[in-house]
Structure 1
Amino acid sequence: MWGIHSMNAKMYLIIYYSIAGVIISLFTAVMTYWIIDVPIGSKMMFKIFLTILATLPIIGILSYLIGDCLSGRLAAISHCLNDISEDKFLVDKHEESITDINAIHESIHELSHRLENSIVTLKKNNAQLNNMIRSLSHDIKTPLTIIEGYLEELEDGIVTKAQKPEIIAILKKETAYIAELSSEVIRYLQSFEIQAQKKTIVLKDFLHEEVCPLVRVPKDVVLKCKINEEDKMDFDCIALKSILVNLLHNASKHTQQGSILIQSLKNGIIIEDTGIGIDSQDAKMIFEPFYCADKSKNRQKNGFGLGLSIAKNLAENNGYVLRIDTYYKNGARFLLHK
């Protein structure tokens, strides 16, 4: 298909340049004799005709070369556009250089990569959204099933007076779970949109006054803080507090003895513990919404699996990266840095 288009374009260009060459040659010859005031007779016309015939091969060769170059370039651009129309966004970049056409090809090449990146991002976000909806549906279904079952028992009058207080307590607990889950999902969605109100934070004072009082560690665990007076971060106060409290809460939950260390690094902070650590497979998924490394069925212990996802989004909103150190083997280590 592209060979036919290329040949058609090449043929048109050859014909176009040949006709243009003949016209220009004829016009030049006639004007030359007119300017020098020489009468144009039959012999002169014959000479002009021979001159044109002599120049036609040169015009034809030049037309062929130009047509071959231009038609090949145009065919490549057409091929790129056809690939893009078929959702094949990553097109090959050709190295031939004709300024105007090359600029068009360069723009198409750049556009194709931007489109490809956008499609990849959209597909990834769509997959995450589908996973989130499935997980959310599963998490809501369990308490709703419990509530529905007990309401039916109450409606049918099969619950004794002695059982009612216990059942009411269960219904309240499951209702509170759904309310808390809804609140956490809203927090997760808002974490994409929150505009960071950055200010320079003195880490030592901030940890002592805002973060550590909210963290409860097991009795056999020591909370250590290696932060210097001059250590600072440019961060949104509420966002940084949320991130650090979440990381320290997770560390406390998975460390029964040993220590939890808060340590500064250049324009960042490290939180590490001597707990059970995180499996390499879990580490790849740890920041995905609703993902829980602990596969136990204790909902109260596991939470909703949104804390680290929210923390990651808040970090990115402030121009930082939150990641796990997969090489650390003595527990878990998280780094928040530029």
Structure 2
Amino acid sequence: MRAINEVVKNISRKKFKEYDWVNGKNRDELDFILLQTIRASTMVEKEIIRLNKIENYRKEFIGDISHELKTPIFAIQGFIETLLNGAIHDKEVNEVFLKKAMRNVNRLIYLTKDLMEISRLETGEMKSNFQEMYLRDVVLDVVESLQYKAQKENVEIIVKDFDKNLQVRADRNQIKQVLINLIENGIKYNREGGHVEVGIRDKQGSKEKIWLYITDTGIGIDSKDIARVTERFFRVDKSRSREKGGTGLGLSIVKHIIEAHGEELKIESRPDSGSTFSFSLTQVSHVSV
């Protein structure tokens, strides 16, 4: 009874420890109750750790959101105040200010959309709908949707030829989102006249897996930043990212989707030498590339 009382008191004080002196034998009802109480203590400890992680995530997430929302909101506020103070009657500046305000409104829209998506991914609310799909069809669909943006930036998108009958098992919409984010990044941080290449290669040592890669001829990433580029809101070049309309969530979304598929993401890059983002996918049946 004293042992049971000690364990219960420790639970109430949130003090958790190993009870090495318990031999694990069920000699009578009190032994059984003692063991169950210790198991309850372990479960309570794990639940408190889990809840603390959630609370830390919530605080960090709210802090990140607050920081990211300030810039476009203050910018919009400044443009509107200037217009209301008389600039609206100046034809040379009113249209410029309204366009700048609209760009920041669009940034807020994109940021809100990405925040909702990353929140659903990180909390496990977004579930993957796995199905068999033809990979080339998905790639070509995404590339077609991004051609206008690529042409506008004078960047060419190249799709390397691979078997049109190659099928993989994945969530079609989520893999499309991964491709959109990675190809858009390749366009956004490229050089004028550069290109983005999309293709596949075999995953060494596995007949079931292939790598889908996206290579660009852009500005590249320093080795010290590669490990952090998939963190929420991390930007290698903050001013350039904001100028290009980035939310700082695209690669984090990519990482969470790939992990939810049980696949791998690799990043290879050097400053001024471009970047290669590649991720594994599971084939429905082995098809030679």
Q: 1:296 aligns with which of 239, 264, 267?
A: 239
- Measured in 2, the distance between the counterparts of 1:213 and 1:183 equals 22
Tell me the CA shift for residue 278 of structure 1.
4.1
Aligned partner of 1:168 in structure 2 is 98
Q: 5 Å matches for 1:168-317? A: 168-191=98-121, 192-208=124-140, 210-216=141-147, 223=158, 225=160, 227-228=162-163, 231-256=166-191, 260-264=197-201, 265=203, 266-267=208-209, 269-273=211-215, 276-279=219-222, 281-301=224-244, 303-317=246-260
Amino acid at match of 2:105: T
Tell me the CA shift for residue 223 of structure 1.
3.5
SS at match of 1:195: coil
Check whether the contact 1:223–1:260 (CA below 8 A) recurs between aligned residues.
Answer: yes
SS at match of 2:125: coil
- Measured in 1, the distance between the counterparts of 2:254 and 2:44 equals 29
Check whether the contact 1:233–1:268 (CA below 8 A) recurs between aligned residues.
Answer: no
Check whether the contact 1:200–1:232 (CA below 8 A) recurs between aligned residues.
Answer: yes
Tell me the CA shift for residue 241 of structure 1.
0.9
- Are positions 1:119 and 2:48 aligned together? yes
Tell me the CA shift for residue 299 of structure 1.
1.0
Moved more, 295-304 or 101-110: 101-110
- Tell me the TM-score normalised to structure 1 length: 0.61
Tell me the CA shift for residue 242 of structure 1.
0.8
Larger Rg: 1
- Measured in 2, the distance between the counterparts of 1:86 and 1:290 equals 38
Tell me the CA shift for residue 303 of structure 1.
0.7
Aligned partner of 2:287 in structure 1 is none
- Measured in 1, the distance between the counterparts of 2:35 and 2:230 equals 37
SS at match of 1:262: strand
Distance of aligned partners of 1:333 and 1:112 in 2 relative to their CA distance in 1, 3 Å threshold: farther
Tell me the CA shift for residue 159 of structure 1.
5.0
Aligned partner of 2:12 in structure 1 is 85
Amino acid at match of 1:168: L
- Measured in 2, the distance between the counterparts of 1:113 and 1:276 equals 50
Check whether the contact 2:229–2:251 (CA below 8 A) recurs between aligned residues.
Answer: yes
Moved more, 111-120 or 237-246: 111-120
Q: Deviations over 1:262-290 (max 9, x none)?
A: 32543453425365554455344333322
Distance of aligned partners of 1:225 and 1:130 in 2 relative to their CA distance in 1, 3 Å threshold: farther
Check whether the contact 1:226–1:261 (CA below 8 A) recurs between aligned residues.
Answer: no
SS at match of 1:273: strand
Give the unaligned 5+ runs of structure 1: 1-8, 10-73
- Measured in 2, the distance between the counterparts of 1:199 and 1:315 equals 15
Q: 5 Å matches for 1:15-54? A: none
Distance of aligned partners of 1:272 and 1:174 in 2 relative to their CA distance in 1, 3 Å threshold: closer
Check whether the contact 1:270–1:334 (CA below 8 A) recurs between aligned residues.
Answer: yes
Output the aligned Cα RMSD. Answer: 3.7
Distance of aligned partners of 1:97 and 1:193 in 2 relative to their CA distance in 1, 3 Å threshold: closer
- Measured in 2, the distance between the counterparts of 1:194 and 1:225 equals 32
- Are positions 1:142 and 2:85 aligned together? no
Tell me the CA shift for residue 141 of structure 1.
1.8
- Measured in 2, the distance between the counterparts of 1:111 and 1:249 equals 50
Tell me the CA shift for residue 200 of structure 1.
0.8
Tell me the CA shift for residue 111 of structure 1.
4.5
Tell me the CA shift for residue 322 of structure 1.
4.8
Tell me the CA shift for residue 245 of structure 1.
1.9
Higher fraction of helix: 1
Distance of aligned partners of 1:84 and 1:261 in 2 relative to their CA distance in 1, 3 Å threshold: farther
- Measured in 1, the distance between the counterparts of 2:114 and 2:142 equals 20
Give the unaligned 5+ runs of structure 2: 283-289
Between 1 and 2, higher relative CO (CA 8 Å, sep ≥ 6) is seen in 2
Aligned partner of 1:20 in structure 2 is none
SS at match of 2:244: helix
- Measured in 2, the distance between the counterparts of 1:153 and 1:259 equals 41
> Number of matched residues?
262
- Measured in 2, the distance between the counterparts of 1:252 and 1:297 equals 13
